[in-house]
C-alpha cells in the first residue's frame, strides 16, 4: 500500500492541542500532520482521547489551547468553515430508522441546503450499491447495510475530510472488507480520512497510525514503523497442553506478554536472548516446538496499553 506522505499538501497541521473536561486533562499537547489523500488511523484504549482529538482537529470541539490548521482553516477561529467540509460517521447509527434509504439521504441533502440534491442522492445510491434497496426502511437493514447508508450520508456534500469513529463495529467481515475497499478508493481520489479503530487488521490498512493513551500521543508512523519503535521480540510455542506454560512464562522477568491461540502461545519480550532462554527453560519437554515469529501490531498495542496508566484512576 503506497502512502501519499511524500506530498507537501498538508490538510491537517496542528500543534500543542489540549482539552480538559472538568479536572481531567483528556488531551495533552497533541501534534499531528495529515496529507491529502492519507488514511490516518487512531489506536488506543477506550477513554484515551482519540475521539476528542479528532473532534478538536475538525472544528467539532474547541481546544483549550494549541494552534494549527485543518483544510487551510484555523482550528480555533474558523471551526465553522472546517465543519462545512467534513463528513462525520459515528459508531452508532444515527439516521432515521422509519425512513427509507432514499428518504434518509434526501433529508440529509436538505439539511445541507444542496441545490442538486436529487442528483446527489441518486449518485450516492449508485456509488454505495444502495440503489436496489433505495425504498427499504433503514430500520430493517443489517449492520453492514446501515454502515453503507451512513457512509453515503457523510459523503453527500462532497467533504474534503472524512471522520470515522469506529465505523465497522458490529458488522460482519465481508462488510468490513467492502467498506475499507471503498475508503481506499475515496483516498485515491484525494479524500483525507481520520479513523479510530480497535481492529488491528483495519489499522494495518491505514497509511499512518497514531497511538494515543490517556490524552498523550505515544507513537506515530506507518504500521511497520510503529512496530519497530517498540523493539519487541516474539516467539511462538506449539504443542499439546501448551497452556500449562502460560503462568510460568508470565512470571518470568524476560516476558512482556503471553497470549494463547489454541495449541500455541504467542510470547513477547524486549531482550531476544533472555526471552528465548526463558521460553526454552519453561518448554524443555520434547512435546513443545519453539520458533521466532514476526512481531505484530497487536503485540505493540497490548504492550503500550500495559505500559500506560489511566488518567481517570
The pLDDT-based confidence of 308 (bands split at 50, 70, 90) is low
Higher pLDDT, 242 or 284: 242
The pLDDT-based confidence of 240 (bands split at 50, 70, 90) is confident
**pTM for this predicted structure:** 0.86
Whether the pLDDT of residue 6 is over 50: the answer is: no
Q: What is the pLDDT of residue 184?
A: 95
Dihedral pair phi/psi, residue 131, rounded to 5°? -60, -40
Dihedral pair phi/psi, residue 298, rounded to 5°? -65, -40
| Mean per-residue pLDDT over the chain, rounded | 89
Burial of 148 (C-beta count, 10 Å sphere; 0-12/13-18/19+): buried
Range 34-61 average pLDDT: 89
Domains of the chain are: 4-222 (3.40.50.300), 233-294 (3.30.70.100)
Q: What is the pLDDT of residue 191?
A: 95
Can you list the positions of beta strands (E) in 135-284?
161-165, 192-196, 208-213, 216-221, 233-238, 257-261, 264-269
Q: What is the pLDDT of residue 309?
A: 58
Q: What is the pLDDT of residue 310?
A: 54
Higher pLDDT, 278 or 312: 278
The pLDDT-based confidence of 8 (bands split at 50, 70, 90) is low
Q: Order of strands across the sheet with 161-165?
A: 86-89, 161-165, 192-196, 39-43, 208-213, 216-221
Q: Which pLDDT tens digit goes with each residue over 270-306?
A: 999 999 999 999 988 778 999 999 999 999 988 888 7
First to last CA, the chain: 39
Q: Which pLDDT tens digit goes with each residue over 143-178?
A: 888 888 999 999 999 999 999 988 887 778 888 888
Q: What is the pLDDT of residue 44?
A: 85
Q: Which pLDDT tens digit goes with each residue over 53-65?
A: 988 988 889 999 9
Q: What is the pLDDT of residue 2?
A: 46
The residues, ordered by sequence, that sit 6+ positions from 200 with a Cβ below 8 Å of its Cβ are 296, 297, 298, 301
Amino acid at each position: 500500500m503506497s502512502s501519499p506522505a511524500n506530498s507537501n499538501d498538508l490538510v491537517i497541521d496542528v500543534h500543542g492541542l489540549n482539552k480538559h473536561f472538568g479536572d481531567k486533562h483528556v488531551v495533552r499537547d497533541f501534534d499531528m500532520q495529515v496529507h491529502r489523500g492519507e488514511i490516518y488511523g487512531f489506536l488506543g484504549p477506550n477513554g484515551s482521547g482519540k475521539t476528542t482529538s479528532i473532534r478538536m482537529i475538525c472544528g467539532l470541539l474547541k481546544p483549550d489551547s494549541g494552534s494549527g490548521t485543518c483544510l487551510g482553516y484555523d482550528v480555533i477561529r474558523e471551526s465553522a468553515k472546517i465543519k462545512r467540509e467534513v463528513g462525520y460517521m459515528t459508531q452508532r447509527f444515527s439516521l432515521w430508522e422509519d425512513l427509507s434509504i432514499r428518504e434518509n439521504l434526501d433529508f440529509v441533502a436538505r439539511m445541507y441546503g444542496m441545490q442538486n440534491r436529487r442528483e446527489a442522492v441518486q449518485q450516492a445510491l449508485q456509488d454505495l450499491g444502495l440503489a436496489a434497496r433505495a425504498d427499504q426502511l433503514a430500520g430493517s437493514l443489517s449492520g453492514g447495510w446501515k454502515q453503507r447508508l451512513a457512509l453515503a450520508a457523510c459523503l453527500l456534500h462532497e467533504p474534503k475530510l472524512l471522520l470515522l469513529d469506529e465505523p465497522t463495529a458490529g458488522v460482519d467481515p465481508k462488510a468490513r472488507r467492502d467498506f475499507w475497499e471503498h475508503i481506499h478508493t475515496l483516498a485515491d481520489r484525494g479524500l483525507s480520512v481520520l479513523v479510530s479503530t480497535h481492529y488491528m487488521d483495519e489499522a494495518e490498512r491505514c497509511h499512518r497510525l497514531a497511538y494515543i493513551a490517556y490524552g498523550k500521543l505515544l507513537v506515530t508512523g506507518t504500521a511497520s514503523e510503529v512496530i519497530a519503535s517498540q523493539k519487541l521480540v516474539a516467539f511462538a510455542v506449539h504443542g499439546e497442553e501448551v497452556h500449562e506454560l502460560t503462568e510460568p512464562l508470565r512470571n518470568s522477568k524476560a516476558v512482556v506478554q503471553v497470549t494463547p491461540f489454541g495449541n500455541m502461545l504467542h510470547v513477547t519480550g524486549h531482550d531476544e536472548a533472555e526471552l528465548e532462554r526463558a521460553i526454552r527453560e519453561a518448554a524443555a519437554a520434547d512435546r513443545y516446538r519453539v520458533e521466532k515469529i514476526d512481531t505484530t501490531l497487536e503485540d505493540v498495542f497490548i504492550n503500550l496499553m500495559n505500559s500506560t496508566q489511566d488518567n481517570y484512576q
